[in-house]
Amino acid sequence: MCPAYATCTNTSRSYYCSCKRGFLSSNGLKTFKGPGVECKDIDECSQSPTPCGPNSICRNLPGRYRCSCMTGFSSPTGNNWISGKQGHFTCRDVDECANPRSCPEHSTCHNSPGSYSCVCNPGFQSRSGRKSFQGLKEMCEDVDECASPRSCPEHSTCHNSLGSYSCACNPGYNSRSGKKTFQGPGETCQDVDECANPRSCPDHSTCHNSLGNYSCVCNPGFQSRSGRKSFQGPGEMCQDVDECANPRSCPEHSTCHNSVGSYSCACNSGYISRSGKKTFQGPGETCQDIDECSQKPPPCGPNSRCRNLPGRYECSCLTGFSSPTGNNWISGKPGHFTCTDINECLSHGVCPEHSECTNSLGSYRCSCKVGFTSGNSTCEDVDECANPRSCPEHSTCHNSLGSYSCVCNPGFQSRSGKKSFQGPGEMCQDIDECSQTPPTCGPNSSCRNLPGRYECSCLTGFSSPTGNNWIPGKSGHFTCTDVDECANPRSCPEHSTCHNSLGSYSCVCNPGFQSRSGKKNFQGPGETCEDVDECSRNSTLCGPSSVCTNIPGKYSCSCLPGFFSPGVWSPEKPEAFKCADIDECLQDPSRCGPDSVCTNTLGSYSCGCVVGFHPNPEGSWKHGNFSCQRIPFKCKDDVIPSNMQVQLCHAGAAVEPKYVSFCALMNATLSVLDNVCENKTTVVSLKSTAKRLDSVIEKTSKWSNFTKEETSTLATVLLESVESTTLAAFLKPSANVSQTIQTKHLDIESKVIDKECTKENETFKLKAKGDEMKIWCSTIKESESTGINGVAFVSFSGMESILDERFLKDLQIPWASSKKKLKMNSRVVGGIITGGKKDGFSKPVIYTLENIKPKQDFESAICVSWKPDVEGGRWTPSGCVLLEASKTHTVCGCNQMVNLAVIMASGEVTMEFTLYLISHVGTIISLVCLAMAIITFLLCRTLRNQNTYIHLHLCICLFLAKMLFLTGVDKTDNQMGCALIAGFLHYLFLACFFWMLVEAVMLFLMVRNLKVVNYFSSRNIKMLYLCAFGYGLPGLVVAVSAGLQPQGYGMYNRCWLNTETGFIWSFLGPVCTIIVVNSILLTWTLCILRQKLSSVNAEVSTLKDTRLLTFKAFAQIFILGCSWVLGIFQIGPMANIMAYLFTIINSLQGAFIFLIHCVLSRQVRTCCPPSPAPSRELAPATHTPPVSKHGSSPHGVYPPSGTGRIQKMHDQEDQTQL
């Protein structure tokens, strides 16, 4: 009948409804009928003023409301008061200051409506520095006023106290006001006159006052007890009798105190007088021990034990307690004895890991932390992830130490939004990434949501490097970028430019082109851009004397040959381009070159030469390579451009210090050419010129400091200067047309050929310094001389020591790489002719050169000529042949006019081509054999013993040494690299010989103990010590050698040790010593083997195995390097034979090692057998010696039969690898 929250009231004939308290009818009437009316809740909290009153919080409820007080207020009815309950709800201020714990100590609490504040008392400040604060977390700390020096006046001491401070004058001073303590700087401390007090000093003394102090001095006739002249205080006396000097004055356990005219005794600490007096006199009194432990409270304090001792007591703590002074503390010792509880929880390891320790008085207990469970006295982690219900669906459980966490899988998020959570109450819901802003897939893309992920695709006209339908988790980063159609060259036709736009593109023809359709912008390759021919449209486009050239897309203007335009042509400013005639003759440098005459014509020019020069027949001014040649000698300008070293000294700039000496000689030589070339009409004095050049040659001591390139350059310039000066003398002859010039270092004989050459077979001979040149008349005619015919012969003395065998260059000759075995044996000579042709003569020019030293029978001569164009200047045998060689002279025939000399090759040390070939072929064979031996020793496990390791190290050292020697001994281009190669070769070959010494010693030790069963006594030597010997000693030799003479590594012709300074003995010394030692040990070893074999009966000793054993022992001569001694005997008539033996044997040392230690070794043959049949010889190096047929112990004596001894030798041979 009535709606909810309404009360139905019955009447005599009807009824009526009325809403309950807190509700109002929807029609606004207090009473009503019918179901159409509802009772709605009245929101009392929205009324003003609120029904709960001020400083409260109102919350509406159905039909009522709830009142609560704000923080800092309270109601007598309590919080959460609901209308209808008893009492009247009013919020009153809470006085927090009524609670003494609201503020910390030394502070004052100030209450305010709804709050309060704490302020530190005067003399205190908060720890944080704030003036007002709340709570006990803050503290009021005392302000140390004494930290400020202005708090107290001078001559006073500041004493800080809790919340205050006080000043006290120092001893000897009083405050002006008379107060003992005071505050503030307004007070001052004045000096006290202690002498005004008669008690300041003792009797019989005089008092002397001073600032802040005083002193007492005994009067004449008195002396202070301490002996001091001045003192203070009544404790000192003047000439008093010390009764305490008598030990019987006071009893035992007491102290005597002397006074003026008297004394007193006082019991020591821990004792008391029998009468109870503190001080007394006389021996009748005694001091008795005080039992401190019987006192209450006990002197040791709680939780302690006290033990009385004579005159003192001892304190110890109970179990579970400790004192900072330690146990057994005795009174009188430093420190204060107190027993405090020992916190066992502070000690590491008291409780197991993942547990908590709780300390108690004198004990402790352990409990596992949350997430751990106890077991076997340890706390083990509980794996919550083992329960599948720990985390909801679409999530991953991560167990951690003592806890766990759930994380939603990628593409899902928790309902609460937390990244990690616990408990199944959470759920992981799918994330709709496509609804996010900005779009997940980025701009210009479409996104499709999937369970736990999403799919990205690009819009039309865009693409992604990852491709469409990209799903997170795939490789790459999805981004939609515009498809650049312009990247495809086929998008637009040729001669057009493509302009890309977002999702599209357009083509525009380049300037100078137009589209076939006439459109400016278009798409697709169907359109083409055609060139616009500007030159055909306007023939006068470029002006007169010009050429218009159409270019695809543009045109260009250029002047005809012989014309130029001052302005650069450009389509934007065509008026600036005008062609005018070029006067080529005004150009610098001249088109015709030096010493020429130039004639200008319209659009061209012509060239001619000045007097004394003629055009080069190989050039033409029409082809731009015209030049004038001086006939026929060179000047300085002809020498300078051809060489960088000459240009360095002629550059005009400051010369570097290291080139000063070189440039001085170079410029002195070039100055000779200046005098010859500058005055064309002056008669050339060949004599004076020769003297100047002689002075340059004389300075040979300076030449030795130059580099190889500088020496060859300076020598080339000098030789060319002599030739040019001699030719100049022919062209400008003096009175004596044929001259003979002789100086200390230079002889020249020149001869002018006029009418003397009438017969073809006629010859002319010219001599200089004991050398001779013979030339045929036909050769003079072939030289194509256009003026005066003249020949000259020059001989240089001392040049042979400068241009020595180091400058030999011919890679096709086998001995070219063995320059140490070559030597210069003649002076440097030169032939000069006036004709333009210098080589290719039909008849040779004959040069007879005097030998510096007589030629030996084993020496062979080589005729070499100087080639200035080969590496800056080198000797080469090309063009000259040896005609005759005697002890005193060498005759050479050359088809050219050259500077030449004779080089002697010593046959006793020269490596002929056959030896060169044998050495290289043998070395290669050794390298292959060494490689196979190394592989064999490494792969065969049954061979692994001390002997095979020694063989292995020797093979490795020999392989590296021979490989480096074969590939690097001739790498002399880089000086530092060559020195490094020489150093490594020094070390590797020394290491080879030291390992050969180890082999010899080990072989001797094993063979010497052949009769002994335990014959491997050498195994007591550790391999580490052998490696230290085999590698360490060579390294030490090399290090000492390099430290003493580092320049000894590397020579100009090979990367080896210097043989001229004695540095080679750093290698030969150790090698010769090792060869002697090895030879002695090997001879001794062979003698021992011979004795062993001779003791065997004749039948057994002829066995094949015995012969093989002897052969192996003899082969050790080659393996142990004893054959290197053959190198010493390469002298005299047997030199060739010894050289061949030395080369063959030592180049095949690796082959010998492989043959003896691998091919002929029983253990190696049984290591890789054709079938796995068992064999006695398969036993490793540590096999047990055979037992006799009588069953004797392995440590007994072997049977005396020959067969048994041969069997033992076989076993020994397998071990020692003879």
Band of residue 69 on the pLDDT scale cut at 50, 70, 90: very high
Which pLDDT band holds residue 282 (cuts at 50, 70, 90)? confident
Strands 124-126 and 107-112: unpaired
Would you tell me how many other CB atoms lie within 10 Å of the CB of residue 250?
A: 24
Pairwise pLDDT comparison (1196 vs 318), residue with the higher score = 318
DSSP-assigned letter for residue 370? T
pLDDT higher than threshold 70 for residue 835: yes
Rounded Cα–Cα distance for residues 485 and 492 (Å) = 9
pLDDT value for 576: 80
- Whether the link from the prior residue into 589 is cis, omega within 30° of 0, is yes
| Torsion angle of C-alpha atoms 1187, 1189, 1190, 1196, degrees rounded to 10 | -30
The pLDDT of residue 233: 73
pLDDT at 1121: 61
Which tens digit of pLDDT belongs to each residue from 155-171? 899 999 888 889 999 88
Percentage with pLDDT > 70 across the chain: 83
> What b/e string do you get for 88-115 counting C-beta neighbours within 10 Å, with b at 16 or more?
ebbbebbebbeeeebbbebbebebeeee
- Name every residue whose Cβ is closer than 8 Å to that of residue 1020 and which is 6 or more positions away in sequence: none
Across the beta sheet with 880-885, the strand order is 763-768, 771-776, 845-850, 889-894, 880-885
Q: Is the pLDDT of residue 757 over 80?
A: no
- Asked if the peptide bond before residue 1169 counts as cis, ω within 30 degrees of 0, the response is no
Token code pair at residue 38:
């509802």
Put residue 430 in one of left, alpha, beta given phi > 0 → left and psi -120 to 50 → alpha.
Answer: beta
Average pLDDT over residues 277-284: 83
Q: How confident is the model at residue 1054 (pLDDT cuts 50, 70, 90)?
A: confident
By mean pLDDT, which of 534-538, 734-738, 751-755 is the weakest? Answer: 734-738
pLDDT at 503: 78
pLDDT > 60? residue 817? no
Among candidate residues 1161, 1190, 1165, 1188, the one with its CA nearest the CA of residue 1175: 1165
For the segment 1192-1201, the average pLDDT, to the nearest whole number, is 30
What's the pLDDT score for residue 570? 80
Q: How many CB atoms lie within 10 A of CB 928?
A: 14
The whole-number pLDDT of residue 1018 equals: 47
Please report the pLDDT score of residue 1180 as a whole number. Answer: 31
Tally of residues, the chain: 1218
**Token digits for 194?**
């202690």
What pLDDT band is residue 773 in, cutting at 50, 70 and 90?
very high
Which range among 367-381, 666-680, 747-761, 989-1003 shows the weakest confidence by mean pLDDT?
666-680
787-791, 1068-1072, 1110-1114: segment of lowest average pLDDT: 1110-1114
Residue 1182: per-residue pLDDT: 30
pLDDT digits (tens, 9 = 90+) for 393-435: 889 999 988 888 999 988 888 888 888 988 778 899 888 888 8
Mean pLDDT for the stretch of residues 292-304: 88
Residue 48's CB: how many other CB atoms inside 10 A? 4
Residue 680 CB coordination number (10 Å): 14
- State the helix-helix crossing angle for 975-1008 and 946-968, rounded to 10 degrees: 150
pLDDT at 902: 73
Structure tokens at 822: 């070559």
Report for 57-61, 462-466, 711-715: range of highest mean pLDDT = 57-61
pLDDT at 48: 87
Q: What is the pLDDT of residues 887-906, one digit of tens each?
A: 899 999 998 888 777 777 65
Task: Please answer whether residues 559 and 516 qualify as being in contact, where contact means their C-beta atoms are separated by less than 8 angstroms.
Answer: no
The percent of residues above 90 in pLDDT, for the chain, comes to: 11
Residue 652: the pLDDT is 56
Average pLDDT over residues 524-542: 82
Band the pLDDT of 867: cuts 50, 70, 90: confident
Cis peptide before 814 (omega within 30 of 0): no
Residue with tokens 């401390």: 189
With a cut of 50, say whether residue 726 has pLDDT above it: yes
Highest mean pLDDT among 470-484, 748-762, 939-953, 1170-1184: 470-484
Query: Mean of the pLDDT values across residues 320-334?
Result: 87
Mind giving me the DSSP string for 995-1030? HHHHHHHHHHHHHHTTTSTT--GGGGS-HHHHHIII
d(CA 1164, CA 574): 93
Token couple for 693? 């050049």
Sheet containing 64-69: give its strands across: 56-61, 64-69, 81-82
What is residue 88's three-state secondary structure?
Answer: coil
Q: How confident is the model at residue 1169 (pLDDT cuts 50, 70, 90)?
A: low
Question: What tokens does 698 get?
Answer: 């004389």
User: How far, in Å, are 17, 27, 39, 812 from residue 33 at the CA level?
Assistant: 6, 11, 12, 137
Closest CA to 145 of 104, 106, 119, 184: 184
Q: Please say if the pLDDT value at position 1194 is more than 60.
A: no
Per-residue pLDDT reduced to its tens digit, 181-231: 988 778 888 888 888 888 888 888 899 888 888 889 988 867 888 888 888
> What is the rounded distance in angstroms from the CA atom of residue 320 to the CA atom of residue 1060?
90
**Residue 360 corresponds to which tokens in the numbers above?**
């108690």
What are the beta bridge partners of residue 885? 890
pLDDT of residue 120: 94
pLDDT at position 1034: 92
Token readout for 869 is: 């164009």
pLDDT (mean) for 1071-1084: 86
Q: How many CB atoms lie under 10 A from the CB of residue 874?
A: 20
Residue among 115, 120, 127 nearest 103 (CA): 120
Mean pLDDT of 283-307: 87
Q: Which domains does the chain have, with CATH numbers?
A: 6-96 (2.10.25), 97-143 (2.10.25.10), 146-192 (2.10.25.10), 293-342 (2.10.25), 346-381 (2.10.25), 384-431 (2.10.25.10), 445-483 (no CATH), 487-560 (2.10.25.10), 581-624 (2.10.25.10), 631-906 (2.60.220.50), 920-1216 (1.20.1070.10)
The angle that helices 1104-1119 and 1202-1216 make with each other, rounded to 10 degrees, is: 30
Our CA angle for 425, 428, 429, nearest 5°, is 125
What is the radius of gyration, based on Cα positions, of the chain?
A: 61
| From 29-33, 602-606, 910-914, the region with the lowest mean pLDDT | 910-914
Sign, CA dihedral 1110-1112-1113-1115, equals positive
Which of 577-591, 1029-1043, 1201-1215 is most confident? Answer: 1029-1043
Q: Please list, in sequence order, all residues whose beta carbon lies within 8 angstroms of the beta carbon of residue 330, skipping any fewer than 6 positions away.
A: 309, 312, 313, 314, 315
Query: 597 with 606: CB under 8 angstroms?
Result: no
- The predicted model gives 976-1004 an average pLDDT of 88
More confident residue, 1091 or 630: 1091
* Predicted confidence (pLDDT) at residue 582 exceeds the cutoff of 80: yes
Give the CA angle between residues 1193, 1198, 1202 to the nearest 5°.
Answer: 155
CA-CA-CA-CA torsion for 998, 1003, 1005, 1011, nearest 10 degrees? Answer: 170
Of the listed ranges 252-266, 616-630, 1181-1195, the least confidently predicted one is 1181-1195
Model confidence band, residue 813 (pLDDT cutoffs 50, 70, 90): very low
Q: Which amino acid is at 632?
A: P
Q: Are 270 and 312 in contact (CB under 8 A)?
A: yes
Beta carbons within 8 Å of 89's beta carbon, 6+ residues apart: 52, 53, 56, 67, 75, 77, 81
Give me the mean pLDDT over the 338-349 stretch: 86
CA terminus-to-terminus distance, the chain: 131
pLDDT higher at 119 or 1112? 119
As a whole number of angstroms, the distance between CA 188 and CA 35 comes to 100
**Strands (E) located in 376-517:** 378-381, 395-400, 403-408, 412-414, 420-421, 428-430, 445-450, 453-458, 462-463, 481-482, 496-501, 504-509, 513-515
Residue reference for tokens 């004493």:
159
Query: pLDDT tens across 633-650, in order?
Result: 566 666 555 567 677 776
Percent of the chain that is helix, strand, coil (3-state, to 5) = 30, 25, 45
pLDDT at 238 exceeding the cut of 80:
yes
What pLDDT score does 1101 carry? Answer: 43
Confidence check: pLDDT of 732 > 70: no
